[in-house]
Amino acid sequence: KQAKLIVDKDFVVGEVDKRIYGSFIEHLGRAVYGGIYEKDHPQADEQGFRSDVLELVKGLDVPIVRYPGGNFVSGYNWEDGVGPLDQRPRRLELAWRTIEPNWIGFNEFMDWCRKANTDAMMAVNLGTRGPDEARNLLEYSNHPSGTYWSDLRVQHGYKDPHNVKTWCLGNEMDGPWQIGAKTAVEYGRIASETAKVMRWVDPTIELVACGSSAIGMPTFPDWEATVLDLAYNDVDYISLHQYYGNREKDTANFLAQSVGMDSFINTVISTADFVQAKKRSKKKINLSFDEWNVWFHSNESDKKLDPWQIAPPQLEDIYTQEDALVVGCMLISLLKRADRVKMACIAQLVNVIAPIMTTNGGAAWKQTIYYPYMHASVFGRGEVLVPLVSSPKHDTKDFTDVPYVEAVAVHNEEKQEVTVFAVNRHLEESISFDIDLRSFGQGRILEHIVLENDDLSASNTGDAPNRVTPHTNGSAALSDKGQIQAVLNKASWNVIRIK
Ligand code: AHR
């Protein structure tokens, strides 16, 4: 079987906004307690942050981290998490039925972000609360001093404002599971009013409105059309969330799911542009795909957990080689629409459906999905080139004409490098892959990284953290005609770096 990618220096989809390699930390399970923070851990720093976890996070070069939720934010009082530790309340946390001790809150999270070389993407509670608490939090965060909330921050030991630029107006407000879920009209109005007062506090911020919780929501895409109709001028981005799983043990169909992600992205763009046309507006709304990943392995064990524990092991998916391929395809989907997808967050970062796992008091290690995410984040900066891909195709249960090969190329002008990301979805056969770089002329292969495993269910665990790791023995080489030829092994993720 044969596939081909043609790209040209002059045909550009768009500049990669580095924030598409964002991630997410929610007060959920062991993401915070036992994940980024564990004060009695041998590798905890002076604030109780795990330095082993910080090192793994830095390896991903994560530009932005969404916080504090997720479903959690819709019942959260941010004031509970600031000020003297001994005065912070313990609360029943209704989204995940746990106890929230509030050992970590906004200021500590900002400290962690500085240590992790990342920025925060804050979410405000539009479930049980509204514009008042949102504007107070923003004043506490970004106003220099001389007002009630900014002076309280100074009193809490943070003289300089945190200057958080990106704010999400609630979370998944269309979902019946959400605390304080709303209709599109209810949400569109509250999002608009909250945005208005937040911008009055700090006009430099960027705001994300909640889109649908998934493409399968019954209100999709009317939700987007209504919300944007009511809040178009007040917001900058509309969010998308999507998780995939292989519950039916149909791997071909599972690996094809990113085709659905492509159409989700394209439909949200069309819907936003429809509202733009209706409003005769010059402004474009861009996309924030601020929750995406594979999530299904832990569903059954989560049902058996007792409620009202502090930081129980929730949503602890152990990822396989197969999942890493889906994550690779999802990254390619985001890159293909770099013109409109300006932010995205793999959900989440540590322990909770995460590329990084830990044991309490013990080790931290990389899950299989760490690798495609790291490769894209580290090598996928620059301009995405229009990908002309020809590939043999197949049908799966939910999709027709699914290309076996997904591929995209990113040109980094500064480093004079082109990086091709490619997945071969074929479960039995390798595929010959030609890359025609047209106006780039002849290149030199820097490396061809491959993530593959004969066992698609292979995963990394605390005992065997390196069962699934990439190698650099990929076959990419220059052909006589100056093109690049590679073999994409069956069920593999490939990174071909060319100078
Ligand atoms: O990331 C886990 C959960 O998934 C988030 O809390 C919620 O927003 C989504 O449903």
Span 224-241, average pLDDT: 98
The contacts of residue 43 (CB under 8 Å, 6+ apart) are: 50, 51, 52
376 and 335 in contact (C-beta within 8 Å)? yes
Q: State in Å, rounded, how far the first CA of the chain is from the last one.
A: 27
Residue 442 confidence (pLDDT): 82
Distance 154 CA to ligand 1 centre (A): 32
For 408-427, the pLDDT digits (tens) are 999 999 999 999 999 999 99
Distance 98 CA to ligand 1 centre (A): 15
pLDDT in tens, 141-173: 999 999 999 999 999 999 999 999 999 999 999
Strand 341-346 and strand 286-294: the pairing is: parallel
As given in the structure block, the two tokens for residue 120 are 């925060």
Give per-residue pLDDT as tens, 10-38: 999 999 999 999 999 999 999 999 999 99
Q: Residue 235 pLDDT > 90, yes or no?
A: yes
Q: Looking at ligand 1, which atom is closest to the CA of residue 177?
A: 10
DSSP one-letter string for 240-295: EEEEE--TT--HHHHHTHHHHHHHHHHHHHHHHHHHHHHTT-S---EEEEEEEEE-
Decide: 337 and 13 in contact? Cβ < 8 Å. yes
pLDDT tens digits, residue range 300-337? 999 999 999 999 999 999 999 999 999 999 999 999 99
d(CA 141, CA 268): 31
Contact (Cβ atoms closer than 8 angstroms) between residue 305 and residue 361: no
Q: Give the pLDDT of residue 443.
A: 84
State pLDDT tens for residues 38-73. 999 999 999 999 999 999 999 999 999 999 999 999
Residue 480 has pLDDT above 80, yes or no: no
- The DSSP bridge partners found for residue 242 are 292
Half-sphere exposure at residue 382, Cβ-oriented, CA atoms within 13 angstroms: 22
Q: Helices 148-155 & 131-142, crossing angle to 10 degrees?
A: 50
Cα–Cα distance for residue pair 483/469, rounded to 1 Å: 28
What is the pLDDT at residue 304?
A: 97
Mean pLDDT of 340-366: 98
List phi, psi (to 5°) of 285.
-95, 125
Q: Give backbone dihedrals phi and psi of 312, rounded to 5 degrees, phi first.
A: -75, 165
Q: What are the φ/ψ torsions at residue 475 (nearest 5 degrees)?
A: -95, 0
Radius of gyration of the chain (CA): 22
Q: Number of helices (H) and strands (E), helices first, in the chain? A: 11, 25
Mutation probe of ligand 1 site: the residue of 23, 24, 25, 26 with most atoms within 8 A of C-beta? 26
Among 127, 132, 131, CA closest to 95: 127
Cis amide linkage into residue 221, ω under 30° from 0: yes
- The 10s digit of each residue's pLDDT in 176-198 is 999 999 999 999 999 999 999 99
Q: Which two tokens stand for residue 43?
A: 């590798």
* H-assigned helices in 3-158: 51-60, 106-115, 131-142, 148-155
Question: Would the pLDDT of 482 be above 90?
Answer: no
Q: Which of 124, 171, 179, 208 best tests ligand 1's pocket when mutated (most atoms within 8 Å of CB)?
A: 171
For 40, what's the count of Cα atoms within 13 Å in the CB-facing half-sphere? 3
Q: Whose CA is nearest to atom 7 of ligand 1?
A: 70
Which structure tokens are listed for 47? 């604030």
Mean pLDDT of the chain: 97
DSSP labels, 73-103 = GGG--GGGGSS-GGGPPPEEETTTTEEE--S
What is residue 19's predicted lDDT score, i.e. its pLDDT? 98
CA distance 291 to 458: 25
What is the residue with the minimal CA distance to atom 1 of ligand 1?
347
Query: Is the Cβ–Cβ distance between 383 and 17 less than 8 Å?
Result: no
Q: Give dist(CA 391, CA 405) in Å, integer.
A: 6
Tell the residue number behind the tokens 């996070």, with chain if given. 57
pLDDT of residue 402 exceeding 90: yes
Index of the ligand 1 atom closest to the CA of residue 171: 8
User: 353 in helix, strand or coil?
Assistant: coil
Q: What is the pLDDT of residues 197-215, one digit of tens each?
A: 999 999 999 999 999 999 9
Cβ–Cβ contacts within 10 Å for residue 181, how many?
A: 17
Could you tell me the distance, in angstroms and rounded to a whole number, from the CA of residue 73 to the centre of ligand 1? 10
> Do 208 and 161 touch, CB atoms closer than 8 A?
no
CA-CA distance, 236 to 19, in Å (whole number)? 14
Burial of 276 (0-12, 13-18, 19+ CB in 10 A): middle
Confidence label for 441 from pLDDT (cuts 50, 70 and 90): confident
pLDDT at residue number 189: 98
Instruction: Using pLDDT thresholds of 50, 70 and 90, give the confidence band for residue 6.
Output: very high
Q: Which residues line ligand 1 (CB under 6 A)?
A: 26, 69-71, 171-172, 291, 347-348
Q: Which residues are catalytic?
A: 172, 291
Which pLDDT score, from 0 to 100, does residue 112 have?
98
Q: What is the pLDDT of residue 158?
A: 98
* Distance from the alpha carbon of residue 438 to the mean position of ligand 1, in angstroms: 43
pLDDT > 70 fraction of the chain, expressed in percent and rounded: 100
> What value of ipTM does the predicted structure carry?
0.99
pLDDT band of 479, cuts 50, 70, 90: confident
pTM over 0.90: yes
Contacts of 56 (CB under 8 A, 6+ apart): 356, 364, 365, 366, 370
How far is the C-alpha of 486 from the C-alpha of 423, rounded, in Å?
12
239-254, pLDDT tens digit by residue?
Answer: 999 999 999 999 999 9
Cα 190 to Cα 130, 184, 231, 337, distances in angstroms: 7, 10, 9, 29
Q: From atom 4 of ligand 1, which residue's Cα is the shortest distance away?
A: 70
Work out the angle at residue 290's Cα, subtended by the Cα atoms of residues 232 and 226, and round it to the nearest 5 degrees.
Answer: 30
> 159 alpha carbon to ligand 1 midpoint, in Å?
33
Locate 313 and state its tokens: 């092991």
